[in-house]
Structure 1
Amino acid sequence: MSRKPAQPKLYFNLRSPFSWMALRRLEERFPQAPERIEYIPYWDPDERTRQALGERGAAFHYTQMSKAKHLYILQDTKRLSQRFGYRMAWPIDVDPWWEVPHLGWLAARRLGRERELYAALTAARWERGENICDPEVLRRAAEEAGVDPEPVLAAVDDPEIREEGVGALERAYHEDVFGIPYFKLGRHRFWGLDRLDDFLTGLGELPAADRAGAPADPAAGIPDGLAELVGALDHDSAGGCG
C-alpha cells in the first residue's frame, strides 16, 4: 500500500525581508502555492512563548545576527528588491513584539482570511515601512484586508491562539528550522530565498529544462564525518533571516 506524500511546508515570518520576497516570488511563479503548501509562521518568541516551548522540551534555533551581517543584509535586500522590481521601504523596529502580528495571522486563518491579512501586513511593513507590531497598524491592516480586527488584535492574549503559536514553533524546533524562509519537501529541506528554485524543482513546477542538473540527493558530495564538525568552525550567528 503506497503512502500519501507529506504536504510541502513553508516556514515564513513577517520580520524577514527574505521571507517577504521569497513568498512573493513563489506565489508569482506558482499561484497555487497557498492551496498546495502548508504555511507555518515562525518568529522570535517572547518570554512567555519561550517558557511554554521549554515546558514542551523544545527551544528556538535561530540566533541573532552580528552587526556586520546585519549591515550586509541591508545592502543585499536593496539589491534584490531592485532586481525583482519590488518597492521597498526598510522599517525601523523599536522593541518589536512579534507575537502581535504572527498570532494575529493565526486568528485571521481561523476566519479564512490569512492571505488577505498577510498581504496587508507585508504592504504595511515592506512598502510603507510601518511597525506592524503596533496594534493600531495591525488594526488598519486587518480593516484593509476585510478582516474583523477585534479577534486579530485579541490574539496575543487568547490562550488558545497562544497555544497554537507555541505548537507552530515546537514543530519548527523538531524540524530543525533555524532561519527563514525555510521550505520542506519530504525529507528535503531548502533554506533561504536563493533555494526557491530548488524547492520549485522538487515540486515539479519548473519546466524540464530548468530541472536539468538538479541533484537527486541534497547530501550528495558531503565528505564523511563532516556532520561531526557542525558548530565547531563558525561561531557567528546563522543569520536566520535567510
Structure 2
Amino acid sequence: MGTRAKAEGLQVKQIDYYLALQSPWVYLAGRRPAEIAAQHGARLVYKPLDPAALFPRTGGKVRDERHPSRNSYAAEDRARQAKLLGVDLREPLFRSPNAAPAAYALIAAQSAGGGDLAGYVQAIGRAMWAEGKDIGDDEVIAAALASNGFDPKVADRGMLMAAETYGANLEEAVTAGVFGVPFFVTGGARFWGQDRLDMLDAHLGGRL
C-alpha cells in the first residue's frame, strides 16, 4: 500500500509515536503500533521523551506524586491488560531506571536504519517488566540492539544527535498537545494509550 501511494503521488501518512521506554503501557502496546502503521502504509516515527519532564508541563504528576489509590489501581489494571494480551509482566526490580541511554539508542537506531525498531522497543520493555533487568545498563541496551539487527555501538556514534533529538521531542510533544505515553499523533488526530490503538487503526482506515 505504501509503494502504491508513492507511485500515485499521494502523501504517505505519518504517525508520530511519543513514548517512554520505561513505561509499562508502552511495553503493553508491543508491536501493535508498527503493525497498524504497516497495514495502512503509514510511516511510524518513534519520538522517545522524558515523561518526568512532560507531566509537570501538561498537568500530570509522576508516579511518586500520585495518590496511592491511583497507583494501586494502575498496578491492577496493567496486570489485567497483560493477562488479556498474553504478555509476561512483573513488578520491575529497577523501578526508576535511567531510561535516557536506551532512548538515545532508539533515536540513533532509527536514524541509522536497517533493523527492527519495534523489536528493540519491545526488548527494552521486556527487559524491565519481565526480566528484572536495568534498562539503563549499557549491556542490556547493546543486547536489545544486536538482537534486533542493529550495531550495538550505534548509540555511541549518534550520542550527540540523539541527546539533542530527545530534548526536541519533549518540546514538540508539548506543542502537539501530548500529555502522556504512549501517545500517537497523525494529522490532526491524537490517540492516548495502548488501549486506543483500535481507534488509531479505525482512523487510519477511514472508519473513524
TM bracket, shorter-chain basis: 0.7 to 0.9
- The equivalent position to 1:25 in structure 2, one of 7, 25, 32, is 32
Where do 1:90-101 residues align within 5 Å?
A: 90-101=91-102
CA RMSD of aligned residues (A): 2.9
- What's the counterpart of residue 118 of structure 1? 121
Write 1 or 2 for the structure with the bigger share of helix.
Answer: 2
Tell me the percent identity.
29
Q: TM-score, normalised by structure 1?
A: 0.67
Deviations 1:87-125 (A, max 9, x none): 223323354212111011111112213344223323322
Q: TM-score, normalised by structure 2?
A: 0.77
- What's the counterpart of residue 48 of structure 2? 41
Larger Rg, first or second structure (1 or 2): 1
Where do 1:50-61 residues align within 5 Å?
A: 60-61=57-58
The reply to whether residue 164 of structure 1 matches residue 165 of structure 2 is yes
Distance 1:177 1:44 in 2: 10
- Please state how far the C-alpha of 1:76 moved relative to its aligned partner: 0.7
Distance 2:44 2:154 in 1: 25
Runs of 4+ in 1 over 4 A off after TM superposition: 3-6, 27-31
- What's the counterpart of residue 183 of structure 1? 184
- The equivalent position to 1:145 in structure 2, one of 124, 129, 148, is 148
Where do 1:48-87 residues align within 5 Å?
A: 60-61=57-58, 62-65=60-63, 66=66, 67-87=68-88
Q: Are residues 34 and 125 of structure 1, via their aligned partners in 2, closer, same or farther at CA, if it must alter by over 3 Å? A: farther
Q: Are residues 115 and 174 of structure 1, via their aligned partners in 2, closer, same or farther at CA, if it must alter by over 3 Å? A: same
Q: Are residues 26 and 142 of structure 1, via their aligned partners in 2, closer, same or farther at CA, if it must alter by over 3 Å? A: closer
Supply the AA of the counterpart residue of 1:129: G
- What's the counterpart of residue 239 of structure 1? none
Distance 1:4 1:190 in 2: 21
Deviations 1:27-80 (A, max 9, x none): 4566447953322212236xxxx6xx9xxxxx8435213132222111111111
Distance 1:99 1:184 in 2: 22
Distance 2:38 2:187 in 1: 21
Q: Gaps (5+ residues) in structure 2? A: 1-9
Aligned length, in residue pairs: 192
Supply the AA of the counterpart residue of 1:96: P
